[in-house]
Homo-oligomer: A and B are copies of this chain.
Amino acid sequence: MNLDLMRELSVSTDSKIVLLILDGLGGLPMEAGGRTELEAASTPNFDRLAASSDLGLSRPVAAGVSPGSGPGHLALFGYNPLEYQVGRGVLSALGVGFDLGESDLAARINFATLDGEGKISDRRAGRIPSEKGAELVDLLNENVRIDGAEVFVIHEKEYRAVVVFRAPGLSGSLSDTDPQRVGLEPLPVKPTEPSEGTEKAASLANAFVEGANEVLKDQHPANTVLLRGFGMHPALPSFEETYGLRAAAIASYPMYKGLARLAGMDLLKEGEGISGEFDTLEAAWDDHDFFFVHVKPTDAAGEDGDFERKRGVIEEVDGLLPRLLELGPAALAVTGDHATPAKMKSHSWHGVPFLLRSPYTLPTAETFGERACAGGSLGAFPAEEIMGLLMGHALKLNRYGA
């Protein structure tokens, strides 16, 4: 998306935009001749919506390339995912609500288990419960000190945490300590691009690991930390400055909250489950003019290879849809950040069903599904263009040129 063009053309109006993301929505037939998860789902509300919507297939990053959640969402928000890159550590830090500064370096922590020979025997320390994880994080915060930097450890969930190094002149181009396999020793952190900033950062990170090992040595099973996904806070132009939108995010998972915060969105308190997210949407309706609503369980079901569960989640969202429509958004898009076909049990590169409803559409089908979308008026198009389409359909863009 050309963000400068959006900045130049965008105008503030009272009209409201909703971007409803069913994570990993796109799917595939389990068997030749079959239907996808979305095609198989009974979705009377989505189908009725499709009949008054523009349809297409959105492509997250590039032909054949399966995106992680980071690049998938950056594209949805209009940021070129090859130009703007966000490390996993940064996403997690933002997701837990840490106020990441522009010179902070973040990395993901997994608590893990070392055997007597110093080799990794469990990369997730037996998936320790969240209470234990929080206790270990407190231990690290109280006892690990390293020269030349402030260190913050924040618990995420279970065996997962985030570490943030605060010192001037750091750079995030660093390798992971997690060798990705058990039976190996953890790796030292090394610069992937040599510079003063990466050398300094690598030495801080290695000192932290050493200190953590000392503090955790008598713990069991979590007696070490593995670090990965180093990165600095990326400087994304905000939704406010780019689109002139007072944007809000409704998401229940840290990473998606983190992505929304990167774009400058307000994080709204989500309710319980998917219907709780719709409660939040209704409650906050008057206070913002853009809502990013993120539904996670479609992706989780796809990752588990559970076609029926994924179909069920889609049907659940379909059942809630009338509540959203009742609010009367000027422009509503429904899509995913990528496909997660149950057949593949993973993110994939396939085009994602996309639907955009406004008063200014050219409907082509009576159902919402991959093949209906393939024949839609938008065709196959880059996900990066979705924000432009939404801004146009909500009549929030001035004409370009005389």
Contact = CB atoms under 8 A, between A and B. Distances in A.
B374 A377 contact: yes
Nearest to A57: B377
B360 A62 contact: no
Nearest to A64: B392
Contacts of A9: 65
Contacts of A68: 399-402
B377 A379 contact: no
A305 to B, nearest CB: 14
B67 A390 contact: no
A336 interface: no
Contacts of A264: none
Nearest to A359: B343
Given A347-B399, A377-B57, A5 B364 contact: no
B61 A400 contact: yes
B379 A57 contact: yes
Contacts of A380: 56, 377-381
Interface in A350-366: 350-351, 359-364
Interface string A27-54: 0110010001000000000000000100
A321 interface: no
A363 B82 CA distance: 29
A233 interface: no
A374 B371 contact: no
A64 B388 contact: yes
A339 to B, nearest CB: 10
A5 B82 contact: yes
A261 interface: no
A348 B67 CA distance: 32
A28 B362 contact: yes
A70 B401 CA distance: 6
A393 interface: yes
A87 B402 CA distance: 7
Nearest to A56: B380
A57 B374 CA distance: 13
A169 to B, nearest CB: 24
A63 B392 contact: yes
A203 interface: no
Interface in A312-370: 341, 343-344, 346-351, 359-364, 370
Nearest to A60: B400
A361 B385 CA distance: 24
Given A62-B388, A64-B393, A390-B64, A229 B362 contact: no
Contacts of A374: 362, 364, 375-377, 379
A368 to B, nearest CB: 15
A344 to B, nearest CB: 7
Contacts of A393: 64
Contacts of A70: 401-402
Nearest to A371: B364
Contacts of A247: none
A62 B384 CA distance: 11
19 contacts: A9-B65, A28-B360, A57-B379, A61-B400, A64-B392, A65-B392, A66-B400, A67-B399, A68-B400, A69-B402, A87-B402, A229-B402, A341-B360, A350-B360, A351-B377, A371-B377, A374-B376, A374-B377, A374-B379
Interface of A: 1-2, 5, 9, 28-29, 32, 36, 52, 56-57, 61-72, 81-82, 85-88, 91, 229, 341, 343-344, 346-351, 359-364, 370-371, 374-381, 385-393, 397, 399-402
Given A5-B62, A32-B52, A67-B400, 11 more contacts: A57-B377, A63-B392, A64-B390, A66-B399, A66-B400, A70-B402, A347-B399, A348-B360, A349-B397, A351-B378, A364-B375
